[in-house]
């Protein structure tokens, strides 16, 4: 086979490596490089995840016994509020789009950077500012409204609601600007030859996510602004005393926060689409269906917010319509799951760590999705509303889906981001521990919820103790598994062997530059190929990685012409 | 927003100093900026949409209250401000044209006019706001007005002095800066300082126009109360003021209403205006104050009784939404002025030309949106009949 390696992008000098091409604190703090911003986001969101994860363990420990362990009711309220608020606003929403998305979107496009690098850095600092507001709210007196800030409690409680809502407002703008940046980048900076349907599916998912971020988040912005005005100026919009209506707040809030659920899960689905195909070494099944289903989920997501409010006092007709619309979301979600399964069929599945995570994702996300049907159906939602069934359902989607997908993505692109390989064995162990721990935590909660255990209570009747204890043991196992995963990546940073440019055999563009990439990504715009065509990839034993071997293209000279001898 | 792609890196494109390093060509840069700006405008529309929803919801629930409360707004001033903003949009569009044709002076003048109009808008708005604060037409929790539409307070509000402090400082500061630039014969600096001085002065022009319109209406309603008398009063809720209210309403309505008016007027005279701010903080809802007005005849034929409408739960909610919408809009005007000033500085440095006028274009889009939002706000709030 007459073939030549695309040497142009492999031969970048190691000193151009984006991690070390400039040094000093300011070269990171003021960087406009999307890869560095992505890494800073990664550290930031993982720190937030650590804090909120510890809070989760505190909650589970408190629930070991029906009575008081070590938290008063008030303290329990504060702990679960901060757990939820930090997880949602500081971790899950920015996790995949801001951390992995920032790193990957321009490289997958073969571009040098996102469209607005300064805005990108600005988004990061907005995120930091919002995080500071949240931490100050925590250290101040403790917020106890729940992450939803429902009125009228949030307008009357003495907690630091204004500081926290301002944090949400600022984080919202961080999210909006990230989404705006990605939409513009994907629209205007695709390389020649990359049509919409030659984009990697991760970009489709990011694009759909960005649409939601741009369209839904401003509504959250005005909602929390009105909530702050309600507290400071008593504008009465949410206050029945002045003819306002507290349920209006719920409508406004869920108009954002339901689409926000898809901000959380869609990028995870994008990761899984990549992982499934790469680690099965088989072209993705139903490319267009997966791409369209991302957009469909984004659009349907705007029409179903009312299913959070079935018991809040809506008209019967309205609840029926919202319930029916809710079921439509399951169609594109199911399309994705079936396509992933079909991708593995007759593929060369390699159970690498990222693949283990994506298999966990499919299993857990499917449970999370299917239990959503019980909650979307009016008759079963009435008894299940505000019980542990709901808690288990959204943790299956948010943790079992997004978090596991995120971890899979981090392991998948870790060699690309840091240039180091990690221990496969311990990576798989971490996945196993997380999988078992997670199910032990949340499967009992489905049972608890269906038996009537309400959420957000610090005390419960004794019959529930056994299931609660199972859940608590599971939570600690889950926490341990996450620490093992942390240990794996830290060990990789210290001792990991140097990563080849393409350790998994991926065909998307990011695998065509060195690991880690140089600060300019590509010297020349890379030639665009089918992102899921694995035929031209060949395994090289000496570097333990794959190499893209391009059939010689006669029209493009691959080497400098010999200088004419005179 | 538009800052970000505007003054991009000067790395490897020496021949095109404005082209950021990560873009291939000026077209790509321009298209990216334009798409980014449009998306930003979409988020702005959605940001306002929350308040428009609240407006629609509560207006549909209490249409009569909104009809009543809207009469407190001065439609003349609103119309004037609409004209000012429309004109500023024209000058902005003219500025984009100048940037495209590399007419530096024309661009500076257009931006100066736009800034001046924005400032005048805020001046008029300051009059409208302080007028309502004097009358206790506040958000629901602090609402305490017992007045009827067309009511006037004497003299200038003390709040107006507070609001005008910053523009006054700007006049002094920009005046000194402009003077220094003229003395040093620094043409470029004077081209920045001059328009900024004009901008700050335009605020006071707006204030004077606002006072003039308000006084003219007061004269129409109040008959014997001359503008001068109002202006010299030290606005401490005296008898003159109350007479003014009485006759205001009396012009329009019958004798029975007249009684009701003087009743409510007496109420306000119990407390000097200086205490208004205290009252806002101390008692949230003042339903107790309504006792004296209960049982009076209908205020406007066909309209609800005063006791039903003149309370925080009704008109207060209207004013909550009024302040939220116009307040957020005013913040957008202020933000626009900051960006316009940035453009002004760059225009004096001759940054814009036929190939690179993106930032002017994007700010222009933003400015038209701010204008457009006002065009919706004006009829929705001022012209409810």
The answer to whether B48 contacts chain A (CB < 8 Å) is yes
In a domain, B8, yes or no: no
Instruction: Give the pLDDT score at B296.
Output: 40
Q: What gap in Å lies between CA B325 and CA B52, rounded to an integer?
A: 8
Q: Does A215 touch chain B (CB under 8 A)?
A: yes
Count of structural domains, chain B = 1
In angstroms, the separation between the Cα of residue A313 and the nearest Cα of chain B is 16
Strand-pair category, A537-540 with A545-551: antiparallel
CA B197/CA B176 separation, integer angstroms: 9
Question: Is B237 in a helix, a strand, or coil?
Answer: coil
Provide the 3-class DSSP secondary structure of residue A547: strand
Q: Is B11 within the bounds of a domain?
A: no
Using the Cα atoms of residue A371, residue A373, residue A375 and residue A380 in order, give the sign of their dihedral: negative
Residue B334 to residue A339: CA distance in whole angstroms? 51
The per-residue pLDDT for A562 is 65
Q: Is residue B25 part of a domain?
A: no
pLDDT tens, position by position, A491-545: 999 999 999 999 999 999 999 888 899 998 888 878 888 899 998 888 888 888 8
Tell me the Cα Rg of chain B.
24
Q: Which of B3, B31, B44 sits opposite A188 (nearest CB)?
A: B31
Side-chain half-sphere exposure of B224, counting CA atoms within 13 A: 6
Rounded to whole angstroms, the Cα distance separating A249 from A235 reads 13
Dihedral, CA atoms, A432, A438, A443, A449, nearest 10 degrees? Answer: 180
Set of chain B residues whose Cβ sits within 8 Å of the Cβ of A239: 140-141
Of A180, A225, A241, the CB nearest to B39: A180
Interchain CB contact of B42 with A (< 8 Å): yes
In this complex, is the C-beta atom of B61 within 8 Å of any C-beta atom belonging to chain A?
yes
Q: Are B66 and B373 in contact (CB under 8 A)?
A: no
**Stated pTM of the model:** 0.86
**Rounded distance between C-alpha atoms, residue A491 and residue B231, angstroms:** 78
- The answer to whether residues B218 and B225 touch, using CB atoms and an 8 Å cutoff, is yes
What parts of chain B have a pLDDT lower than 50?
Answer: 1-13, 223-308, 310, 312
Q: How far apart are CA B67 and CA B45, in angstroms?
A: 25
Q: What is the pLDDT of residues B238-266, one digit of tens each?
A: 434 344 343 333 333 433 333 334 333 33
Angstrom distance (rounded) from CA A508 to CA A529: 8
Q: Chain B residue with minimal CA distance to A253?
A: B50
pLDDT in tens, A213-252: 999 999 999 999 999 999 998 888 898 888 888 999 999 9
pLDDT tens string for chain A (566 positions)?
A: 333 444 444 556 777 888 888 888 898 999 999 999 999 999 999 999 999 999 999 999 999 999 998 899 999 999 999 999 999 999 999 999 999 999 999 999 989 999 999 999 999 999 999 999 988 887 777 888 889 999 888 888 888 899 999 999 999 999 999 999 999 999 999 988 899 999 999 999 999 999 999 999 999 999 999 999 999 988 888 988 888 889 999 999 999 999 999 999 999 999 999 999 999 999 999 999 999 999 999 999 999 999 999 998 888 999 999 999 999 999 999 999 999 999 999 999 999 999 999 999 999 999 999 999 999 999 999 999 999 999 999 999 999 999 999 999 999 999 999 999 999 999 999 999 999 999 999 999 999 999 999 999 999 999 999 999 999 999 999 999 999 999 999 999 999 999 999 999 999 999 988 889 999 888 887 888 889 999 888 888 888 888 888 766 556 555 666 666 55
* A250 inside 8 A of chain B by CB: no
Whether B139 sits inside 8 A of A219 (CB atoms) is no
* Chain B environment of A116 (Cβ under 8 Å): 4-5, 32, 36
Distance separating alpha carbons of residues A399 and A427, to the nearest angstrom: 18
Flag whether residue B6 sits within 8 Å of chain A, measured between CB atoms: no
Query: Is the CB of A232 inside 8 Å of chain B's CB atoms?
Result: no
Residues of B in contact with A118 (CB under 8 A): 3-4
Closest-CA residue of B relative to A522 is B22
* Interchain proximity B320–A214, CB inside 8 Å: no
Would residue B21 count as lying in a domain?
A: no
Verify whether the Cβ–Cβ distance B46 to A215 is below 8 Å: yes
Query: Which of A116, A221, A243 is opposite residue B47, by nearest beta carbon?
Result: A221
- State how far the Cα of A220 lies from the Cα of A237, in Å rounded to an integer: 15
The ipTM of this complex is 0.91
Point out the residue among B5, B49, B51 whose CB comes nearest to the CB of A115.
B5
**Nearest alpha-carbon partner for A126 in A177, A171, A89, A181:** A171
Domains and CATH numbers, chain A: 23-551 (1.20.210.10)
Does a structural domain hold residue B130?
Answer: yes
Range of the domain at B227: 32-382
Disruptive mutation site among A31, A188, A256 for chain B (greatest number of B CBs within 10 Å): A188
Q: How many beta-carbon pairs under 8 angstroms link A with B?
A: 141
- CATH number of the domain at B227, please: 1.20.120.80
Closest C-alpha to B206, from B128, B119, B132, B134: B119
Q: Is residue B22 part of a domain?
A: no
Q: CA torsion angle for B245, B250, B253, B257 (degrees, to 10)?
A: 70
* B7 domain-assigned: no
Report residue A327 as tokens. Answer: 């079921």
Chain B residues in contact with A117 by the CB 8 A cut-off are 4, 20, 22
Look at residue B3 and tell me if it is in a domain: no
Within an 8 Å CB–CB cutoff, is residue A119 touching chain B? yes
| Element containing residue A379 per DSSP (H, E) | helix A378-384
In angstroms, the CA A434 to CA A114 distance is 34
HEC-encoded secondary structure of A115-169: CCHHHHHHHHHHHHHHHHHHHHHHHHCCCCCCCCCCCCHHHHCCCCHHHHHHHHH
Residue A324 has a CB neighbour count (10 Å cut-off) of: 12
Residue A528 forms contact with B (CB below 8 Å): no
Decide if B58 and A237 are in contact by the 8 Å CB cutoff: yes
Q: How far apart are CA A136 and CA A85, in angstroms?
A: 13
Distance CA A427, CA A548 (A): 26
Kindly report the nearest CA distance between residue A105 and chain B, in angstroms. Answer: 14
- The residue whose two tokens read 């890379």 is A526
What is the predicted pLDDT for the residue at B24?
Answer: 85
């Amino acid at each position: 086979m007459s073939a030549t390696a695309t040497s142009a992008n492999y031969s970048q000098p190691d000193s151009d490596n984006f991690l070390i091409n400039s040094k000093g604190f300011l070269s990171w703090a003021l960087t406009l490089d999307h890869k560095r911003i992505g890494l800073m986001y990664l550290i930031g969101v993982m720190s937030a995840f650590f804090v909120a994860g510890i809070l989760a363990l505190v909650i589970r420990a408190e629930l070991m016994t029906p009575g008081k362990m070590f938290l008063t009711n008030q303290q329990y309220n504060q702990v679960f509020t901060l757990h939820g608020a930090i997880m949602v606003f500081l971790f899950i929403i920015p996790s995949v789009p801001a951390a992995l998305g920032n790193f990957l979107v321009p490289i997958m496009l073969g571009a040098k950077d996102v469209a607005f690098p300064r805005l990108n850095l600005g988004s990061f600092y907005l995120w930091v500012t919002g995080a500071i507001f949240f931490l100050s709210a925590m250290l101040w007196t403790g917020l106890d409204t729940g992450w939803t800030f429902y009125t009228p409690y949030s307008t009357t409680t003495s907690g630091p609601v204004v500081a926290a809502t301002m944090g949400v407002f600022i984080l919202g703008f961080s999210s909006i600007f990230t989404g705006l940046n990605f939409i513009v980048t994907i629209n205007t900076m695709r390389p020649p030859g990359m049509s919409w349907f030659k984009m990697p599916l991760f970009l489709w998912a990011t694009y759909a996510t960005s649409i939601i971020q741009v369209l839904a988040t401003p509504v959250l912005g005005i909602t929390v602004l009105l909530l702050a005005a309600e507290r400071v100026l008593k504008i009465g919009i949410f206050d029945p005393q002045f003819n306002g209506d507290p349920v209006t707040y719920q409508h406004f809030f869920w108009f954002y926060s339901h689409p926000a659920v898809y901000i959380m899960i869609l990028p995870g689905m994008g990761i899984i689409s990549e992982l499934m195909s790469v680690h099965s070494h088989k072209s993705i099944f139903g490319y267009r269906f997966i791409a369209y289903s991302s957009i469909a989920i984004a659009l349907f997501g705007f029409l179903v917010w009312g299913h959070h409010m079935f018991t809040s006092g809506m008209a019967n007709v309205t609840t029926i319509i919202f319930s029916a619309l809710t079921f439509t979301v399951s169609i594109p979600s199911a399309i994705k799951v079936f396509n992933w399964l079909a991708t593995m069929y007759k593929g060369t599945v390699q159970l690498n760590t990222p693949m283990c995570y994506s298999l966990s994702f499919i299993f857990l996300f499917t449970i999370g999705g299917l239990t959503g049907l019980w909650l979307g159906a009016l008759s079963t939602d009435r008894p299940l509303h505000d019980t542990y069934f709901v808690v288990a359902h959204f943790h299956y989607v948010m943790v079992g889906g997004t978090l596991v997908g995120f971890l899979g993505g981090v392991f998948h692109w870790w060699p690309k981001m840091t240039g180091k390989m990690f221990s496969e064995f311990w990576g798989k162990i971490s996945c196993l521990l997380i999988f078992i721990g997670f199910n032990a935590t949340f499967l009992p909660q489905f049972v608890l919820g269906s038996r009537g255990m309400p959420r957000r209570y610090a005390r419960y009747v004794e019959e529930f103790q056994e299931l609660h204890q199972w859940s608590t043991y599971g939570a600690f196992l889950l926490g341990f598994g996450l620490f093992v995963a942390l240990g794996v990546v830290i060990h990789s940073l210290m001792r990991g062997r140097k990563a080849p440019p393409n350790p998994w055999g991926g065909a998307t563009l990011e695998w065509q530059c060195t690991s880690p990439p140089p600060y300019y990504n590509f010297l020349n715009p890379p030639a665009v190929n089918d992102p899921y065509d694995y035929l031209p990839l060949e395994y090289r034993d000496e570097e333990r990685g794959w190499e893209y071997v391009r059939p010689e293209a006669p029209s493009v000279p691959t080497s400098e012409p010999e200088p004419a001898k005179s | 927003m538009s800052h970000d792609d505007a003054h991009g890196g000067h790395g490897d494109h020496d021949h095109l100093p404005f082209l950021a390093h990560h873009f291939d060509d000026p077209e790509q840069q321009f298209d990216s900026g334009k798409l980014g700006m449009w998306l930003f405008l979409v988020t702005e529309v959605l940001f306002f949409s929350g308040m428009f929803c609240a407006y629609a919801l509560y207006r549909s629930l209490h249409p009569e209250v909104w009809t009543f409360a809207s009469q407190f707004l001065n439609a003349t001033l609103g119309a004037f401000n609409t004209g000012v903003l429309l004109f500023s949009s024209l000058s902005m569009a003219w500025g984009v044209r100048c940037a495209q044709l590399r007419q530096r002076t024309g661009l500076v003048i257009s931006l100066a006019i736009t800034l001046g109009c924005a400032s005048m808008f805020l001046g008029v708005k300051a009059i409208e706001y302080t007028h309502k604060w004097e009358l206790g037409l506040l958000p629901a929790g602090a609402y305490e007005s017992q007045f009827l539409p067309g009511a006037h307070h004497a003299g200038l509000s003390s709040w107006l002095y507070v609001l005008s402090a910053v523009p006054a400082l700007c006049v002094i500061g920009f005046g000194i800066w402009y003077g220094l630039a003229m003395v040093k014969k620094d043409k470029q600096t004077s081209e920045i300082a001059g328009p900024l001085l004009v901008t700050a002065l335009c605020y006071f022009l707006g204030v004077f126009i606002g006072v003039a319109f308000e006084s003219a209406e007061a004269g129409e309603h109040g008959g014997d109360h001359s503008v001068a008398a109002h202006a010299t009063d030290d606005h401490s809720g005296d008898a003159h003021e109350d007479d003014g209210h009485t006759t205001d309403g009396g012009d329009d309505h019958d004798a029975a209403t007249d009684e009701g008016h003087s009743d409510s007027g007496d109420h306000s005279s119990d407390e000097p205006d200086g205490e208004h701010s205290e009252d806002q903080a101390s008692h949230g809802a003042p339903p107790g104050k309504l006792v004296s007005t209960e049982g009076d005849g209908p205020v406007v034929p066909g309209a609800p009784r005063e006791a039903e409408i003149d309370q925080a739960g009704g008109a207060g909610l209207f004013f909550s939404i009024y302040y939220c919408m116009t307040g957020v809009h005013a913040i957008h005007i202020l933000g626009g002025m900051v960006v316009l000033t940035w453009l002004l500085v760059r225009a004096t440095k001759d940054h814009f030309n036929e190939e690179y006028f993106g930032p002017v274009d994007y700010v222009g889009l933003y400015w038209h949106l701010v204008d457009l939002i006002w065009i919706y706000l004006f009829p929705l709030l001022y012209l409810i009949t």
